[in-house]
Structure 1
Amino acid sequence: MKITPFNQSVINEAEIHLNKLTKPLGSLGRLELLAVQLAGITEEVKPVIEKPAIIVAAADHGIVEEGVSAYPQAVTAIMVDNFVKGGAAINVFGRQIGAKVQVVDVGINGDVLAQPIIHEKINNGTKNFLHEDAMTEEEAQAAVTVGRSVAATCIEEGHRVLITGEMGIGNTTASSALIAAFTGVDVEKVVGIGTGIDEEGRARKINIIKRALAEREIAANMPPIQIVAKVGGLEIAALAGVILEGAEQHIPVIIDGFISSTAALVAASLNPAVRPYLIIAHESVEPGHQILLNYLSVRPLLQLDLRLGEGTGAALAYPLLDAASRIMREMATFEDIGM
């Protein structure tokens, strides 16, 4: 299976249908553009967007040894327990939109086998990429495969839209390194405060990423999976797999903020055909997110100054997709009302 270009006849038909609806031309603004994109993704002029599934990929990062995060690594497993118990923000928003929250252990540094989650642990987190590659290329590819498999299962269960989320202390550092590596933008412009580090911590984080990119001998012409293996994260690779699988199966994937968008960057680097399928929910306050969005030429749906992750911004954006599909399916045309 492969990612196919949008069917232009479906796009044309969707645009014609929109222009027949009982409203001034273009008056629903970006919602109309979203409706056409959904038609392209699903190959349905009147797409059905329902049964959202939130996939939260969780993994740890060896780079936290360098003091790049405001929180200790143990928080990853603690937050997974919170997800299971329904107490996290993503659980709240998931209940609001009637979504299933599915947590996947793709690389938590610890024993979470007792948790009722999907167990696909590839390793106990990544290595410290300041001193060695974060993982092997085989591990990076295995993480992508895990994401594909989880997405495929959700689609088989009847979920017509997927939402990406993540949990992993240190993953803003891995994401910043990946963005700098793929886009060539200076590290200083990419790095933000992450989970809440101070300016001294941010300066340290910038220095560590710069040194790491040099130590890992990152080059723009490297195969994308090799870059992911050198400075990436297991959960980021897994979410790239979710995004690729959704596109291949013509199922919309709502991509969350900074970390999930980095997964979209990885997915687009692995297969550029995925670009028209990308739906990015919101623009994070992380400075690297704007750089990434510009690089991918994607305009996010919301701007709420979020920086939590977990899939929260994507869950908040879901009603917009629901609305875009409903106007195509439920709104009357001028012909219907006798005009």
Structure 2
Amino acid sequence: MKQFDIQPIDSTIKQSAINKIDNLTKPKGSLGRLEELALRLCMIQHTLSPQLRQPHNVLFAADHGIIEEGVSVSPKEVTWQQLSHFSKGGAGINFLCDQHGFRLVLVDSGVDYDIPSGHGIIDMKVRRSTRNYLHEAAMTEDELELCLERGAKVVDDIADSTGCNIISFGEMGSGNTSSSSIWMHLFTGISLDKCIGAGAGLDSDGIRHKYDVLSRAVANYSGDGSVKSQMAWFGGYEMAMAVGGMLRAAERGMTIIVDGFIMTSCILAASQLHPTVLDYAIFGHQGDECGHKLMLEAMGVKALLHLDLRLGEGSGAVCAYPIIESAVRMINHMDSFGSVNVTKYF
């Protein structure tokens, strides 16, 4: 079983960081959430001069057996087609990563297609698609453990080879909003109907059908009720690998930028295993999926942006990066009242 040792962030530096931020040449609190971000980064990095190095966005892709029940408008082949598209450039996440200086890392976690080598896609396929959890567990608990290990390895490889200290995660997988809705329901206690939305574009009839399928799937669950059992029964390979990546990133003291609905459900699941993972998380974007706002509220967190995105892929997290960068520039490049001839005016 993969073990993670995630330490709480360093509170001993907190007051020194607050003092530094409060004595920059501005009214106290006038830079709002930039000040909150700067404080969080100081504590994560154990320094009063935080730095952002080599940002990466890791995109895990896999297929879901539940799609056989008509819960998504996206056909299954879109997963491998889009993954191939990402590898060539020109997709949504490609232009955002290019714009903001992210390296995009693509991982086949369980796509139901044999993707040929030579496309820059890391092959960590567990199986060609999860099973249909209306009738049986989506994955075995051994497969879940393998996903956690492989997600952690991706983060290790990135950090060891590049020195990356800030990372975001994205996904591609038709049907994964269904799995995310069930994880949200199970790990927050919010009623299932409030956790289900349009996904890739379901109409009202489609959403009702999705609710019917997912409610029957939850009723059919026969696991032991543990977090890992519930993750395995209803999760996706790409989601489980993202959980492993998040846990390893936190263990290494990296900052995690959390994307939209699906990645928020993943860090929610991760926090059920190791609550301190949330110390290292910055929530980039509140997406357009109806349950996302409720899930963020249940976790007691607030996203930096609300742009009505519902693309996934890590798009909202990467869009939020310049705000995080501004917080770092603020604490590192603004003068203090003590260093310049400006009267402290508050």
Length-normalised TM-score, structure 2: 0.95
Report the CA distance between 1:87 and its aligned residue.
Answer: 1.3
Q: Tell me the alpha carbon deviations over residues 311-331 of structure 1, each in whole angstroms, 9 at most, x when there is no partner.
A: 000010011111111111111
Q: Tell me the alpha carbon deviations over residues 32-78 of structure 1, each in whole angstroms, 9 at most, x when there is no partner.
A: 00111111222222110132101001110000000011110000000
Aligned pair partner of 1:293 in 279, 296, 299: 296
Contact 1:163–1:256 under 8 Å retained in 2 = yes
Q: Give the equivalent residue in structure 2 for 1:166.
A: 171
3-state secondary structure, aligned to 1:102:
strand
Q: Which moved more, 1:168-177 or 1:271-280?
A: 271-280
Contact 1:60–1:169 under 8 Å retained in 2 = yes
Give runs of aligned pairs for residues 110-129 of structure 1, distance below 5 A.
Answer: 110-114=113-117, 115-129=119-133
3-state secondary structure, aligned to 2:338:
coil
Report the CA distance between 1:291 and its aligned residue.
Answer: 2.0
Contact 2:254–2:280 under 8 Å retained in 1 = no
Q: Tell me the alpha carbon deviations over residues 2-46 of structure 1, each in whole angstroms, 9 at most, x when there is no partner.
A: 211122221111111101111110000011001111112222221
Q: Distance in 2 between matches of 1:223 and 1:76?
A: 30
Q: Distance in 1 between matches of 2:46 and 2:156?
A: 18
3-state secondary structure, aligned to 1:147:
helix
Q: Distance in 2 between matches of 1:181 and 1:218?
A: 13
Q: Distance in 2 between matches of 1:254 and 1:8?
A: 20
Contact 1:181–1:213 under 8 Å retained in 2 = no
Are 2:143 and 1:139 equivalent residues in the alignment?
A: yes
3-state secondary structure, aligned to 1:79:
helix
Contact 1:113–1:119 under 8 Å retained in 2 = no
Are 2:20 and 1:17 equivalent residues in the alignment?
A: yes
3-state secondary structure, aligned to 1:332:
coil
Count of residues in Structure 1 that have an aligned counterpart in Structure 2? 337
Are 2:274 and 1:271 equivalent residues in the alignment?
A: yes
Q: Distance in 2 between matches of 1:30 and 1:49?
A: 18
Contact 1:281–1:313 under 8 Å retained in 2 = yes
Q: Which moved more, 1:272-281 or 1:120-129?
A: 272-281
Q: Give the equivalent residue in structure 1 for 2:318.
A: 315
Q: Give the equivalent residue in structure 1 for 2:198.
A: 193
Report the CA distance between 1:184 and its aligned residue.
Answer: 1.8
Coordinate RMSD, CA, aligned: 1.2
What is the one-letter code of the residue matched to 2:134?
Answer: L
Q: Which moved more, 1:145-154 or 1:95-104?
A: 145-154
Contact 1:275–1:296 under 8 Å retained in 2 = no
Report the CA distance between 1:275 and its aligned residue.
Answer: 2.0
Q: Distance in 2 between matches of 1:292 and 1:55?
A: 22
Q: Distance in 1 between matches of 2:319 and 2:205?
A: 33
3-state secondary structure, aligned to 2:57:
strand
Q: Distance in 1 between matches of 2:73 and 2:266?
A: 22
What is the one-letter code of the residue matched to 2:128?
Answer: N
Report the CA distance between 1:338 and its aligned residue.
Answer: 3.2
Gapped regions of structure 2 (runs ≥ 5): none
Q: Give the equivalent residue in structure 1 for 2:48.
A: 45
Length-normalised TM-score, structure 1: 0.97
What is the one-letter code of the residue matched to 1:165?
Answer: G
Q: Give the equivalent residue in structure 1 for 2:220.
A: 215
Q: Distance in 2 between matches of 1:307 and 1:218?
A: 31
Q: Give the equivalent residue in structure 1 for 2:154.
A: 150
Are 2:310 and 1:304 equivalent residues in the alignment?
A: no
What is the one-letter code of the residue matched to 2:178?
Answer: T
Q: Which moved more, 1:18-27 or 1:241-250?
A: 241-250
Contact 1:57–1:166 under 8 Å retained in 2 = yes
Q: Distance in 1 between matches of 2:330 and 2:248?
A: 27
Q: Give the equivalent residue in structure 1 for 2:336.
A: 333
3-state secondary structure, aligned to 1:279:
strand
Give runs of aligned pairs for residues 87-106 of structure 1, distance below 5 A.
Answer: 87-106=90-109
Q: Distance in 2 between matches of 1:39 and 1:208?
A: 45
Report the CA distance between 1:160 and its aligned residue.
Answer: 2.1
3-state secondary structure, aligned to 2:294:
helix
Report the CA distance between 1:113 and its aligned residue.
Answer: 3.4
Report the CA distance between 1:262 and its aligned residue.
Answer: 0.8
What is the one-letter code of the residue matched to 1:323?
Answer: S
Aligned pair partner of 2:64 in 61, 71, 85: 61
Gapped regions of structure 1 (runs ≥ 5): none
Contact 1:278–1:298 under 8 Å retained in 2 = no
What is the one-letter code of the residue matched to 1:159?
Answer: C
Q: CA, structure 1 residues 218+30, in 2 after alignment: closer, same or farther (shift >3 Å)?
A: farther
3-state secondary structure, aligned to 2:291:
helix
3-state secondary structure, aligned to 2:59:
strand
3-state secondary structure, aligned to 1:110:
coil
What is the one-letter code of the residue matched to 1:198?
Answer: D
Aligned pair partner of 1:72 in 55, 70, 75: 75
Report the CA distance between 1:218 and its aligned residue.
Answer: 6.3
Q: Which moved more, 1:186-195 or 1:111-120?
A: 111-120
What is the one-letter code of the residue matched to 2:98?
Answer: R
Q: Distance in 2 between matches of 1:196 and 1:75?
A: 14
